[in-house]
Amino acid sequence: MIGIFDSGIGGLTVAHAIEHLLPRHSLIYFGDIARTPYGGKSRETLVRYALENTDFLVKKGAQIIVVGCNSAASVATDEIRKTFNMPVFEVITPAAEQAVAANKNGRTGIIGTRATISSGAYDRAIKKLNPDIRVFSQPCPLLVPLVEEGWINRRETKMILRRYLHSLKNRQLDTLVLGCTHYPLLRHLIQPRIGKKVTLIDSSIAVAMQLRKYLEEQSALAMETNEKRSYYVSDLTEASIQTAASLFRKNINLQLARTDHA
């Protein structure tokens, strides 16, 4: 069973991508809505949250962990791997690989939470693959709360996005990494504001593709399962229910998690 966690509902974009690419595999999702957003938290807090979330998924039967939160992935992946003896996937490395592969003019942009951008995780990952690529980063701290509130098409969201993307638009970018799994839900607003010629890299799809490749190499891709899918959240809101239904284009049963920390 594949276990996925995120700071809130944004990681459902990861779950959706995995369901699409791996329809025969079971998964369990945990969205920590009660403690979102993660982007402004300290490294120590993010590591603690990540370990607690992983423990919840493992106790529910997860055998593979996907860190669907860029903020947590940027600082806590190594700690998760040290603590839990199982495959752990994170969204940053595969997204960086796709950004480098798609880049043509040596100029890539990154948008993410303050925690993700300040960690420098994307910069390091991209420079490791191609040190000649110039990376331009922009923290976007207000976007996660806006998505969690369901303000996906509000005028205020459009105005804030335009403000965040203004400096990047003048950088002549070739690619832009959506360095938060909430951001694909704003893709329809981001693309016209950054420019139609800029290739958007979705970290949700990138990690799903990486996971599919791993299972294929392990000869587990075609393994039949009962396709059990469970979605847990640490707080249940009307906005989260509506956003999940909009993303999956069907009603999703979000269950309120009973955990030690939620």
Annotated binding site: 6-7, 38-39, 70-71, 181-182
**140 has catalytic annotation:** no
Q: Do you find a cis peptide bond into 37, omega within 30 degrees of 0?
A: yes
Please name the residues in contact with 112: beta carbons below 8 A apart, sequence gap of 6 or more.
39, 70, 71, 122, 137, 139, 140, 177, 179, 180
Q: Of the listed 135, 177, 180, 190, which one is catalytic?
A: 180
List residues forming the annotated binding site for substrate. 6-7, 38-39, 70-71, 181-182
Q: Of the listed 69, 110, 125, 185, which one is catalytic?
A: 69
Characterize the bridge pairing of strands 64-67 and 2-6.
parallel
Nearest-5° Cα angle at 118, 55 to 8: 40
Structure tokens at 75: 């600082």
| Sign of the alpha-carbon dihedral angle for 102, 108, 114, 115 | positive
29, 231 in Cβ contact below 8 A?
A: yes
CA distance readout (Å), 160 to 8, 17, 120, 183, 189: 20, 27, 23, 13, 11
**180 has catalytic annotation:** yes
Instruction: Report how far residue 35's alpha carbon sits from residue 213's, in angstroms, rounded to the nearest whole number.
Output: 32
Number of H helices, E strands in the chain: 11, 10
DSSP labels for 12-57? HHHHHHHHHH-TTS-EEEEE-GGG---TTS-HHHHHHHHHHHHHHH
Catalytic residues: 69, 180
